[in-house]
Amino acid sequence: METIYTDLLSIGAGLAGERVAVEAAMAGFDTICLSIVPPRRSHSSAAQGGMQASLGNCAMGAGDNPDVHFQDTVKGSDWGCDQEVARMFAETAPIAVREMAFWGIPWNRVVPGKSTYYKGGKQFEKVEAKEKEGLITARDFGGTAKWRTCYTSDGTGHTLLYTMDNKAVETGVKVHDRVEAISLIHDGETCMGAVARCMKTGKLRVYLAKATLIATGGYGRIYRETTNAVINDGSGAIIALDTGIVPIGNPEAIQFHPTGIVPTHILVTEGCRGDGGTLLDVNEQRFMHEYEPTKAELASRDVVSRWMTHHIRQGKGVPSPYGYHLWLDIRHLGEQHIKTKLREVEEICNNFLGVDPITQLIPVRPAQHYTMAGVRTNKDGAAYGLKGLFSAGEAACWDMHGFNRLGGNSLAETIVAGRIVGIKLVEFLKGYEVKFNTEAIKDSVEKDKERIERLIGCKDGKENVYAVRNAMQDELMDKVGIFRNGKDLQSAVDNLQVIYERSKKVGLKSNGIGASPELSLAIKIQGMLRLALCVAHGACVRTESRGCHAREDFPERNDRDWLKRTLATWKEGDTLPTLNYEPVTKLMELPPGDRGYGSTKIIS
Amino acid sequence: MTRRLTFNIFRYNPQDPTSVPHTDTYALEEAERMTLYIALTKIREEQDSSLIFDFCCRAGICGACAMVINGRPGLACKTLTKDLPDEITLMPLPVFKLVGDLSVDTGTWFRAMNEKVESWVHSSKKMDPTVQEERMDNALAEEIYELERCVECGCCVAACGTANMRPDFLGATALNRIARFIMDPRDERTEKEYFEIVGTDEGIFGCMGLLACEDVCPKQLPLQDQLGILRRKMGWTAVKQLFGLAK
Amino acid sequence: MAIDTTIYVRPQSGISAYLDWLQMLTGAGLILFMWSHMILVASVNLGVGAMNTLAKFFEDYYMAQVGGPMIGITFLLHFALAARKVPFRTEQQSTIWKHSKMLHHKDTWLWMVQAVTAMIILIMGAIHMWTVLTDLPITAQKSAARIQGGFWLVFYLILLPMVELHVGIGFYRIAVKWGFIKRKTRHGFDGFENILTMIFIAIGLITIVRFMLIKV
Ligand SMILES: Cc1cc2nc3c(=O)[nH]c(=O)nc-3n(C[C@H](O)[C@H](O)[C@H](O)COP(=O)(O)OP(=O)(O)OC[C@H]3O[C@@H](n4cnc5c(N)ncnc54)[C@H](O)[C@@H]3O)c2cc1C
Ligand code: HEM
Ligand code: HEM
Ligand code: SF4
Ligand code: F3S
Ligand code: FES
């Protein structure tokens, strides 16, 4: 079998993976990134809105600084984050943005003089200062005290990823695309790399590395309705969970986005609301200001998502063949604004709905959007439990987002964490030697080979992999969604356990030769169910509401009993994850308080 | 009212010795707002699980799903079936190496392209994290972004007769990329250095002005205009070189 | 894989650029020539005397004797330069042919037309030039006699549209390749170019008819 040695193996070539890889490559280490798709197609490219950094250049961001950003982040997390990490993050974000500018991002810049903007459907005026001309500007995004979201029109993720990959090419980072890691190689103490399947040829390959990084992004595809790319099915989290040692942090912390278009759930950016777009109900009337008088449409996304669902439940949804939805209205922003500042949105509506947002309303409803959950690491990005294993980006629970991440904070996380973890990883690599345990390697490979043979040969049954996956997605969407309650959650756990048993009987219909997409899914279907069970079980046990974990039966945030982070591991042979807990943060710089939005009661 | 769609799909799995290139036909009931992403996914999940094709963002952003749709290269995820006739023929992109059925290896091609045009800002400066960023005019930033919108889908390459005939031709996407860096004041490369890369028959002088690139680009990049500007620029550089004036 | 960077060698700096300049300039030169040629030949419509005077004028100043071979050389040079782009290997030919059929794309087809007409022009143009230039001086009567002979009538009926198509498309292509036509103006220019080509073909046909009517 082909075996490849390297210093750093990054599983994932999105923003986070490549940022870490670039740091290692610049320090002279041999670096390989694996990716399911060519690196520039990673889901980071889909982020449109922008990323947060407290540069304070634009008029509406005047006076901004890392302190304010830190506070917004902690409040946003509903005090579920690690405050040390959040502090580090807020301090580093401006540097990371400038670094990306240096590397080539065409950030939008301050244009001095008067201009108008919309908030809650009303027009306001602002004046940009002459002395700030040409500095990186920012726009408004939900849940922040200042305008802090740096952007490039509406292709921020795209330009970030392209610039990052340019840097990767420049620094000689090797990328093996269409290669999917299917298990980690470890001996219970040290991680030595991964077994991967080439998605061009179907062949297995062994990657041995001094350090392995999981930067595989989010896993929205365990839900039926999600804004995530079709490749975001959690394989990174799965291989970590499969070690039985490395925990998934806060698996129940899943965020929903208010404006996925119906029926495909492609996201239209929060920038729409930031720029003054409004939400309308079946009577084409605004409603958000009734629930959130000050912030209205600009309240944080979990709050907006929740009120949207609530409003639909009140019978105010618009009926359609795809179920009830609401309207997003950006018509009043005008053709000029929509065609320049919101061009991607215009394209999306025209291309995927046949709707012209300049003259028509956009059908939207909330969809799964972001996984705050992820591979639990310390503040240096080192995963709990295995030496030589790291994680960064959306795949990680580093944990600056706690129970809700703010819009624009995740792109920022990828390059900030990438930078910080990269530096720490380089320190780790310097002078570190690993003994590759041949037994453990052989073990892993044999297991994976056998797994695949059994699937192709239908040795355990002929269960259809797509049917199993769909059943799982329905269960999560309907019962582990935005509003949760004990009864539904328990039923979800029970049903998922049944589906988990089915997943063990999956067998291929096709021959599984070569690129075989069916085999790809079949390999991870059991892992996806374990992951789903972590989410459902974690949510079921957490009897409080925090951030976007909203329990109807426990509406208050309970700092007395639940100011702690869930750590889920999976012992081989079990049918439920093992849940442990740790304090959310060692350093409580900002003591728990009111978020200032959402009407949560707090038990302290 | 609902149509019954017929899909003729190119099939070949190069990894499978028993597979030969052929066309398979599938029938599907059309649904409201159906895109090729929805249709192909349905076919794979309900009719033929061996079908290979690529989707990633399914939102026209990542460039993964380019294929030849009724003769024209385009993004499958942003193609609504209602804009197509009852009979839909799908082929993989030419020029790129076939992975299987409708899936081609664009990753290797584009990485090589990026290496060849040295697709990064060449700067002799060192980044100082403590100082304010260099200023840039917003209009210029937006102009650069306009060219940076390329999603490396490969449609322009697949549609280009020159690229089909000559495997070493760089293609409109690469030429556009160079144009983007020429525009960027942060890149310190000289006229001569750019000329070395694209002032050749593999580069701008290989382009025959067929304009299929311009006409198929799903992101509507201003390829025609940029190719014209680049040819003139490189043409003048060559003339200046003749008189020893090129920088 | 299309680009193999490991075997990539920096080409001789500038060669491609100069050749492209020359290709464009010879093309443009030939266009100018064809327009002058049109004036000479079509002047017969104004009367036999008009054409003869023009022809004599050219000859008296040795334009035909020197200019003729010059045009011949330009013609061959242009051919040599443009031929670099024409697929001669059968494999390439079948690629571009299949490609054009698949794509349904006008500008790609136009190029195919240009390449095919080029081959015809190469042969017929050379024969024509040889015939005319070895039989100086040019007079309307001699031309008329040739055409009325029948063979040359058919010959010109084929060559004329070939040349005009090639010239018309060539003109458009220079403008596109060198950025004189922009995305915004392309569509309008298309139409203009078509009309121009039609007019030239029409004038040519009228001229041929006129030659048929001259008594020899
Ligand atoms: C529609 C949308 C819009 C968004 N908009 C914004 C926004 O405006 N602002 C903001 O801050 N955030 C936004 N986000 C969130 C943000 O984009 C992501 O959190 C972030 O880009 C994740 O980056 P990443 O590098 O961690 O992962 P990704 O970019 O998802 O990269 C994951 C990488 O891992 C690879 N991979 C996965 N599994 C494997 C495996 N098993 N083996 C090998 N490789 C593997 C993939 O191929 C890919 O290269 C948005 C998210 C979505 C879905
Ligand atoms: C009177 C005769 C001719 C005229 C007026 C003429 C004119 C032109 C012009 C203006 C162009 C565009 C140049 C460019 O794109 O740079 C062109 C292109 C071309 N010509 Fe001619 N030409 C003539 C004869 C020929 C002949 C004999 C050939 C024989 C092979 C030929 C082959 C071509 C080809 C293949 C091209 C396309 C080149 C490309 O697209 O890059 N031409 N011609
Ligand atoms: C110096 C070179 C040339 C000279 C002196 C010349 C001269 C003439 C003359 C005298 C005629 C009238 C018919 C005849 O006498 O047979 C004629 C017609 C014609 N020539 Fe040429 N020619 C030259 C080059 C070319 C070239 C290069 C082409 C194209 C490739 C060309 C294409 C034609 C055509 C199509 C006609 C018929 C025109 C019509 O009916 O309007 N000629 N030429
Ligand atoms: S230029 Fe257009 S067609 Fe070509 S790769 Fe880029 S986006 Fe695709
Ligand atoms: S199609 Fe090809 S020949 Fe030039 S104009 Fe576009 S690159
Ligand atoms: S799937 Fe990303 S562009 Fe079509």
Q: What does the mean pLDDT of chain A come to?
A: 93
Q: How many CB atoms are located within 10 Å of the residue A506 CB?
A: 25
Looking at residue A146, its amino acid is: K
Q: How many CB atoms are located within 10 Å of the residue A30 CB?
A: 17
In which band, very low, low, confident or very high, does the pLDDT at C152 lie, cut at 50, 70 and 90? confident
Q: Strand order of the sheet with strand B66-69? A: B22-29, B4-11, B87-91, B66-69, B72-75
Residue-wise pLDDT tens digits, B79-135? 999 899 999 999 999 999 999 999 999 999 999 999 999 999 999 999 888 899 999
Give CATH 1.20.58.100 domain extents, chain A.
Answer: 439-555
Domains present along chain C, CATH in parentheses? 14-84+104-213 (1.20.1300.10)
| Residue A550, phi then psi, degrees to nearest 5 | -110, 110
Is residue C216 scored above 70 in pLDDT? no
Return d(Cα B100, Cα B16) in angstroms, integer: 10
Residue pointed to by tokens 């290989």: B206
Q: Where are the beta strands (DSSP E) in B41-182?
A: 66-69, 72-75, 87-91, 97-100, 103-105
Looking at residue C102, its amino acid is: M
Q: Indicate which ligand has the atom closest to the C-alpha of A232.
A: 1
- Cβ–Cβ < 8 Å for A440, A111: no
Print the SS3 string covering A306-375: HHHHHHHHHHHCECCCCCCEEEEECHHHHHHHHHHCCHHHHHHHHHHHCCCCCCCCEEEEEEEEEECCEE
Share of chain A above pLDDT 90, in %: 79
**According to the model, what pLDDT value does residue A556 have?**
93
**According to the model, what pLDDT value does residue C194 have?**
86
Which of these, A248, A189, A233, lies nearest to A399 by C-alpha position?
Answer: A248
User: Which secondary-structure segment (H or E) carries A155?
Assistant: none
In which band, very low, low, confident or very high, does the pLDDT at C6 lie, cut at 50, 70 and 90? very low
| Residue C2, phi then psi, degrees to nearest 5 | -85, -45
Q: What is the C-alpha radius of gyration for chain B, rounded to an integer number of angstroms?
A: 21
Residue pointed to by tokens 């007395």: A560
B56 lines ligand 6 (CB under 6 A): yes
Answer yes or no: is C128 a known binding residue.
yes
- Cβ–Cβ < 8 Å for A248, A374: yes
Residue-wise pLDDT tens digits, A16-45? 999 999 999 999 999 999 999 999 999 999
Is some CB atom of chain A closer than 8 A to the CB atom of B50? Answer: yes
Q: Report the residue from B163, B200, B231 with minimal CB separation from C11.
A: B200
Those of residues 188-247 in B touching chain A at CB distance below 8 A are: none
Q: Indicate which ligand has the atom closest to the C-alpha of C125.
A: 3
Answer yes or no: is C99 a known binding residue.
no
CA angle centred on A202, ends A199 and A208, rounded to 5°: 80
Residues with Cβ within 8 Å of residue C193, at least 6 apart in sequence: C168, C169, C171, C172
Tell which wins on pLDDT, B163 or B245.
B163
CA-nearest residue, atom 32 of ligand 2? C118
Task: Tell me, in angstroms, the distance from the centre of ligand 2 to residue C11's CA.
Answer: 25
Is residue C12 scored above 60 in pLDDT? no
Residue-wise pLDDT tens digits, A394-453? 999 999 999 999 889 999 999 999 999 999 999 999 988 888 889 999 999 999 999 999
Question: What is the reported pTM?
Answer: 0.93
Is residue A269 scored above 70 in pLDDT? yes
Print the SS3 string covering C158-204: HHHHHHHHHHHHHHHHHHHHCCCCCHHHHHHHHHHHHHHHHHHHHHH
User: Which secondary-structure segment (H or E) carries A214?
Assistant: strand A204-214
Print the SS3 string covering A511-539: CCCCCCHHHHHHHHHHHHHHHHHHHHHHH
- Given a contact as 3+ CB pairs under 8 Å, which chains touch A? B
- Cα dihedral C92, C96, C102, C106 in deg (nearest 10): 180
Q: Please give the biggest Cα pair distance in chain A.
A: 72
Mean pLDDT of C28-32: 89
Mean pLDDT of C54-59: 76
Mean pLDDT of C98-124: 90
Q: What does the mean pLDDT of chain C come to?
A: 83
Residue-wise pLDDT tens digits, A338-351? 887 787 788 888 88
The best mutation among C109, C165, C166, C178 to test binding of ligand 2, ranked by most ligand atoms within 8 Å of the C-beta, falls on C166
- Given a contact as 3+ CB pairs under 8 Å, which chains touch B? A, C
In which band, very low, low, confident or very high, does the pLDDT at A108 lie, cut at 50, 70 and 90? very high
Domain boundaries, chain B: 4-104, 117-242
C132 lines ligand 3 (CB under 6 A): yes
Residue-wise pLDDT tens digits, A498-528? 999 999 999 999 999 999 999 999 999 999 9
- Give the β-pairing of A362-371 and A254-261: antiparallel
Is residue B188 scored above 50 in pLDDT? yes
Which two structure tokens, joined as six digits, stand for C49?
A: 């005397």
Give CATH 3.90.700.10 domain extents, chain A.
Answer: 257-367
Return d(Cα C165, Cα A522) in angstroms, integer: 59
Return d(Cα B213, Cα B200) in angstroms, integer: 19
In which band, very low, low, confident or very high, does the pLDDT at A598 lie, cut at 50, 70 and 90? low
CATH number for the region A439-555 comes to 1.20.58.100
Choices 3.90.1150.10, 3.10.20.30, 3.30.460.10, 3.20.20.105: CATH for B4-104: 3.10.20.30
CATH number for the region B117-242 comes to 1.10.1060.10
Return d(Cα A191, Cα A436) in angstroms, integer: 9
Residue-wise pLDDT tens digits, A162-206? 999 999 999 999 999 999 999 999 999 999 999 999 999 999 999
Fold of A257-367: Flavocytochrome C3; Chain A, domain 1 (3.90.700)
Return d(Cα A549, Cα B46) in angstroms, integer: 35
**According to the model, what pLDDT value does residue C2 have?**
47
Is residue A294 scored above 50 in pLDDT? yes
Is residue C9 scored above 70 in pLDDT? no
**According to the model, what pLDDT value does residue A331 have?**
92
* Alpha helices (H) in chain C, listed in sequence order: 15-42, 48-60, 68-83, 90-103, 106-133, 140-148, 151-177, 183-213
In which band, very low, low, confident or very high, does the pLDDT at A48 lie, cut at 50, 70 and 90? confident
With an 8 Å Cβ cutoff, are B103 and A515 in contact? yes
